[in-house]
Structure 1
Amino acid sequence: MATNQDAFRDYLQFEKNYSPHTVKAYGDDLTSFEVFNKTHFNEENIDQVNYNQIRSWIVSLIDTKISNVSVNRKVASLKAYYRFLLKTKQIEISPLLKHKALKTSKIIQIPFSEKEVDAVLHQVDHPTGFEETRNKLIIDLLYTTGIRRAELLGLKLVNINIPNKTIKVIGKRNKERIIPVLPIISTQLFQYLGERDSLDVIVDQDYFFLSKKGVKLNESFVYRLINSYFSTVSAKVKKSPHILRHTFATHLLNNGADLNSVKELLGHSSLASTQVYTHNSLSELKNVYKNAHPRGESDLKNK
């Protein structure tokens, strides 16, 4: 017999178009609260609970020393579930109606400098063989398109249009977008395909990026790849595919790209999501402002 939680998962997957990974994460959070509720309040059904029960769960999560960001994410899963129950008229009021999220410190993601990116690209400038050609393309593609790691791994052969110099990316909530690629990247795509076709065995035929054994790459591989190369040129704490995405956006904005255009390239649903990158280009903006404004030159002379 289907439960409200089953219906909620179907709602997330088929109506909200959330990825299987996201649906599972929501389900795991509900199960976690369900187990807590049964253990501490001897109640199996989480559809009818009061805020005190949820608050006790939150306190228990904090006691495990996980971050406030993680706690807020888990509570957000509960919020979504109770909104669903409201929508389907299973409850009349959400127990989280007056809940306030825990305070979190804003983490500023520091992008790589152009010098650091150039240094890494210089390392992979003349690839030989399948793996080197693939690795160079992965680094270049992440930096020149700003696609997410999951989007890169989800690329299929049918998504690559070399004649048109475009790739089709399946983003969050299964939203599709077409991204132009630079001529140099188009050439690399063609070269990689030649190396890919020379593999002895191809297991995951549909997927574009493969291991030397012919299977689809996993997320940890791409993280290790980016971390490994950028660790040789950068002392920044975080060296990940996501930082390379930040770098893409920041470098575009620093060089005069329109914010709306960057938003479209990144696949953001709102401009607010893209504006988080503008803090990185504030110093560049100050220089442009001083050089362009009529009072800017006199201001510089007085210093």
Structure 2
Amino acid sequence: MLIESFLDYLRFERNYSDNTIECYGKDIAQFRIFFQGEGGDEDLDFCLVTSEDVREWVVSLMDNGFAATSVNRKLSSLRSFSKYLLRKGVLEKDPLRKIVGPKKAKPLPVFLKESEMDKLLDETEFGEGFIGCRDKLIIQMFYATGIRLAELIGLNDNDVDLSSSLIKVTGKRNKQRLIPFGDELKELLFGYISMRNEEVAVLEPALFLQKNGRRIGRAAVYQLVKQNLSKVVTHKKRSPHVLRHTFATTMLNNEAELGAVKELLGHSSLAATEVYAHTTFEELKKVYKQAHPRS
């Protein structure tokens, strides 16, 4: 039987594990039953299979609730079987050559609600002295500007123009952009810089420093963000990028234009920014379902 011959090939020539071989066998058997029916021959005459048959199988799998990843794995099993038959001369052409599996849906960005950010920034204790002031400023900087972690770490004092309320950010591929900020962030910056210069022997031109006067590192920023976000949310993701997502979502929720948000985030294309529009739409759907009596 061709299926058994193929599984033996995987076992003895390709040295696949027993679990992998079992999965291949189940996937091919599942297609065989779809193609021939429950009462069909135990072997599969692949010469009769067309691309349309495979497409219909994919559709049936999706209709039965299989995720895109599962469908693509099953297609991979069938594709391997088809290539094996081509090498053996059983097939003259591959019915899966032009078959494209379903795309895996991209998860929507995780973000905090405005009320959660208000609670974090207005009601949460960040600690006393230079460190507490610095940590709160870092959280606020992410939320108020949407900058990336690497961009924040790379900020120097001369990148901040307090008189004009602008920061100069160096993003990916050394592309620079200017981001405006409001009075609240301006006040925090004034307070932080004053306290930092009094308490720390500044050894670098970096804006954000450690106690030893050196530029703060990636791991330290990641950890302080994670610790402080855990005070107001239970999300598994509690990273600086969540605050970047929160900035973008908040801007769009408050009627900012998509193109303007793209420029502020430093995205090279509008497609990268559009995911936040999908996020805000999902929020609207939730509100509608909760509020409308006939939703």
TM-score (normalizing by structure 2): 0.60
Q: Tell me the residue number matched to 1:231.
A: 230
Whole-Å separation in 2 of the counterparts to 1:240 and 1:284 = 21
CA, structure 1 residues 302+108, in 2 after alignment: closer, same or farther (shift >3 Å)?
closer
Q: Tell me the residue number matched to 1:143.
A: 143
SS of the residue aligned with 1:179?
strand
Residues 1:268 and 2:264 aligned together: no
Q: How does 1:102-113 map to 2 (within 5 A)?
A: 106-113=106-113
CA, structure 1 residues 301+129, in 2 after alignment: closer, same or farther (shift >3 Å)?
closer
CA, structure 1 residues 164+101, in 2 after alignment: closer, same or farther (shift >3 Å)?
farther
Q: Tell me the residue number matched to 1:171.
A: 171
Q: Tell me the residue number matched to 2:278.
A: 279
1:47-82 Cα offsets, whole Å, 9 max, x none, are: xxxxxxxxxxxx9xxx9xxxx9xxxxxxxxxxxxxx
CA, structure 1 residues 126+287, in 2 after alignment: closer, same or farther (shift >3 Å)?
closer
CA, structure 1 residues 220+302, in 2 after alignment: closer, same or farther (shift >3 Å)?
closer
Whole-Å separation in 2 of the counterparts to 1:170 and 1:132 = 26
Whole-Å separation in 2 of the counterparts to 1:128 and 1:179 = 29
1:9-46 Cα offsets, whole Å, 9 max, x none, are: xxxxxxxxxxxxxxxxxxxxxxxxxxxxxxxxxxxxxx
Q: How does 1:58-73 map to 2 (within 5 A)?
A: none
Q: How does 1:34-53 map to 2 (within 5 A)?
A: none
Contact map agreement 1:160 1:168 (CA 8 A) in 2: yes
After superposition, the CA RMSD in angstroms is 3.0
How far is 1:271 from its partner?
Answer: 0.5
CA, structure 1 residues 287+112, in 2 after alignment: closer, same or farther (shift >3 Å)?
closer
SS of the residue aligned with 2:199?
coil
Code of the aligned partner of 1:199:
E
Contact map agreement 2:148 2:241 (CA 8 A) in 1: yes
Segments of structure 1 that go 5 or more residues without pairing to the other structure are: 1-58, 69-99, 291-299
Larger Rg: 2
Contact map agreement 1:120 1:230 (CA 8 A) in 2: yes
Contact map agreement 1:143 1:245 (CA 8 A) in 2: yes
How far is 1:114 from its partner?
Answer: 1.4
In the TM superposition, structure 1's runs of 4+ consecutive aligned residues that sit over 3 Å from their partners are: 100-105, 123-128, 283-288, 300-303
Q: Tell me the residue number matched to 1:92.
A: none
Q: How does 1:96-245 map to 2 (within 5 A)?
A: 106-124=106-124, 128-204=128-204, 206-245=205-244
TM-score (normalizing by structure 1): 0.59
SS of the residue aligned with 1:239?
coil
Contact map agreement 1:151 1:169 (CA 8 A) in 2: yes
Whole-Å separation in 1 of the counterparts to 2:265 and 2:221 = 19
Segments of structure 2 that go 5 or more residues without pairing to the other structure are: 1-15, 21-68, 70-99
CA, structure 1 residues 188+254, in 2 after alignment: closer, same or farther (shift >3 Å)?
same
Whole-Å separation in 1 of the counterparts to 2:143 and 2:208 = 16
Identity among equivalent pairs (%):
42
Whole-Å separation in 2 of the counterparts to 1:212 and 1:130 = 8
Q: Tell me the residue number matched to 1:21.
A: none
CA, structure 1 residues 111+302, in 2 after alignment: closer, same or farther (shift >3 Å)?
closer
CA, structure 1 residues 272+188, in 2 after alignment: closer, same or farther (shift >3 Å)?
same
Contact map agreement 2:126 2:135 (CA 8 A) in 1: no
1:190-220 Cα offsets, whole Å, 9 max, x none, are: 111101111342222x111001111111111
SS of the residue aligned with 1:277?
helix
How far is 1:106 from its partner?
Answer: 2.1
1:169-209 Cα offsets, whole Å, 9 max, x none, are: 000000010000101111111111101111342222x1110
